[in-house]
Amino acid sequence: MKISLRLAALVATAAIAFQGHAQEAPAVGAAAPAFKLQDQKGEWRTLDQYHGKWVVLYFYPKDDTPGCTTEVCTFRDDVLKLRKAGAEVLGVSLDDIKSHAAFAEKYHVPFPLLSDNAQVTAKAYGVLTYSEKMKMSYAKRETFLIDPAGKVAKHYVGVDPKENSGQVLADLAVLKNGA
């Protein structure tokens, strides 16, 4: 009995400690965390490469799943409008390069899909989560709009895959006009 109480206390302490170490998302106005990730073609991408441009950095759970396919296709369909507004789109998930390559080819994705299979960038942006049911980690569906100086201008939580691209476009227009 004494051992099981001690074990229960130890497990509870570990759970609290683990929650305390969960990375929080960068606040609006804070510097966006740097990253160095490979895209679907194996090319390295860093946030610094986009300095001076607006960046739409969207995280998604998994390639070729219904919500993620809807989201990538919506960004694909709006990519010219986003680029005309001065923004570059980057998708990020924990999937590997090979998975991203197949996903990008299947849906004709004209922007980089970054592989964060080491989970470093998802942690830095506070979007890494674990599904006990599926026994796997994944990136939550969240989007960061990063300004040309590299600061978080907007953070979208609880993203609707169909609406996110339009939200970003509308907010980009407002933010660029200084309103």
Q: Is 73 a catalytic residue?
A: no
Strands 87-93 and 152-156 come out as unpaired
Catalytic residue among 56, 68, 122, 168: 68
Q: Which of 171, 151, 178, 179 is nearest to 85 (CA)?
A: 171
d(CA 3, CA 138): 35
Strands 136-139 and 44-46 come out as unpaired
Q: Which of 146, 143, 153, 152 is nearest to 179 (CA)?
A: 153
Annotated catalytic sites, by residue?
68
